Amino acid sequence: MTDQPTKQKLWGGRFTGKTDPLMHAFNQSLKYDQRMHAADIRGSIAYAKALRRVGLLTEEEEVKMTQGLETVGREWATGQFQPAADDEDIHTANERRLSELIGSLGGKLHTGRSRNDQVATDMRLWLLSEVDDIESSLKGLVRIMVERADKERDILLPGYTHLQRGQPIRWSHFLLSHAFSFRNDLERLQQLIPRISVLPLGSGALAGNPFSIDREFLAKELGFASLAENSMWGVGDRDFIVEFLMWSSLTMTHMSRLAEDLIIYSTAEFGFVTLSDAYSTGSSMMPQKKNPDSLELLRGKSGRIFGDMAGFMMTLKGLPSTYNKDLQEDKEPLFDTVDNISASLKIAEGVIATMEVHGEKMQQALTMDVLATDLADYLVRKGVPFRETHHVSGRAVALAEARKCQLNGLSVQDYKGLHEKFGDDVVEVFDFEASVERRSSIGGPSRKTLDRQIAVLRAALGQK
């Protein structure tokens, strides 16, 4: 039977009075930071090894401490861990339980270590593991968009500006326009990872470690790419959280714009797409309704995640150097953002993978007025300045409107009356497929340029 330590707070020696129960609850973070239990155990095991390397633990003590920590970790994993009333946070809880298991030896674990460098280490470890899953989900979303674009390139529809029909494009071109935004998000996330992967452990409370702890060993042991070169910065820095929240806000802004397009396209007025029943709901009053709730929630989550970022930025602004308790407010917005962006990426992938695309409805939405620019381009190829051809094409549109017909309803003689450079071949303008194929410069919607876009995106995903 191990000797049982006296229960006390990690900081309790200075204080003789009792903590106000309301203050204890106000101060306690275990209810939400317990999700970092595995990261805390992992960091503590590495730190125990570092203590042995400098002679502060014997080999036998390290083994006993490691086994105790592994037991605590298993209790969390199996749901057997029982928090105590005095557990302020995950660090206190784990150390308290360790000491119950191995006795006073557990008190050696905190040698030279502060909760300041401990929590910063835990958060970075935890976020790195979550980012792996988020990166995988983001790749999954881009991948399904690329696969659909590759298979559905024959479908044409109007491209819109100001929500007004502009020019004909391919459905694939539309999908890939959103995929490229997510490709950039993927690049930004990958660029952020090295700034998350910085080891604070060994920074102490603010002034470093007095026992010559080998921090390079700790970084290697925990898989960090680098270590905090300044101990004050190491315990006080939360830029990696801000960057992740900013990244999430931008990524969800892109998600919101995709959702908005698909919400519009799924209306009866457009009828371009139909969402799977798995990602739709009905109305409690109107039996005919099929609501795109998945897309509306994705659009709504973007505001929530932006709010998480803005709120924490206001907490961080103006804090004095190193650790302040205000920084405890970093966890809930980070956890909330991770949960919601992780779910959002998976939901979006499911929506894109299962929605039905109605090519015939898109084709019906193509009216000849979307070829007005092609009509102007026809005259450009005949040597007429574009500013003049734009005016001539506008007059053709006005004439067709006056006659209540489409542009191809005007006769060749009508066109010749509008400009002397119009010839019998003007009828060749009125072909949607030909219009799209003429736009074959890099970035356009032609088949050749779609092949290039798909290749670029697959390369970003690590595919060939």
Active site (catalytic) residues: 162, 283
Q: How far does CA 135 lie from the centroid of its chain? A: 8
CA distances from 295 to 136, 171, 267, 272 (A): 21, 19, 12, 15
Q: Are 126 and 96 spatial neighbours (Cβ–Cβ below 8 Å)?
A: no
Q: What is residue 337's three-state secondary structure?
A: helix
Q: Are 182 and 141 spatial neighbours (Cβ–Cβ below 8 Å)?
A: yes
Please provide the DSSP assignment of 388-400 as one string: HHHHHHHHHHHHH
Q: Are 227 and 215 spatial neighbours (Cβ–Cβ below 8 Å)?
A: yes
Q: Are 106 and 68 spatial neighbours (Cβ–Cβ below 8 Å)?
A: yes
| DSSP state at residue 4 | P
Residue of 134, 148, 142, 147 lying closest to 179 (CA atoms): 142
Compute, in degrees rounded to 10, the torsion defined by CA atoms 269, 274, 275, 281. 60
273-274 and 198-199 beta bridge pairing:
unpaired
Q: Are 102 and 50 spatial neighbours (Cβ–Cβ below 8 Å)?
A: no
Residue that has been written with the tokens 């006073």 in this structure: 104
Q: What are phi and psi of 169, to 5 degrees?
A: -140, 180
Contacts of 314 (CB under 8 A, 6+ apart): none
356-357 and 164-170 beta bridge pairing:
unpaired
Token pair listed for 95: 């150390």
| DSSP state at residue 408 | G
| DSSP state at residue 291 | B
Q: Are 47 and 199 spatial neighbours (Cβ–Cβ below 8 Å)?
A: no
Contacts of 442 (CB under 8 A, 6+ apart): 449, 452
164 forms bridges with which residues in the sheet?
161
Spatial separation of the C-alpha atoms in residues 212 and 382, rounded to whole Å: 80
| DSSP state at residue 366 | -
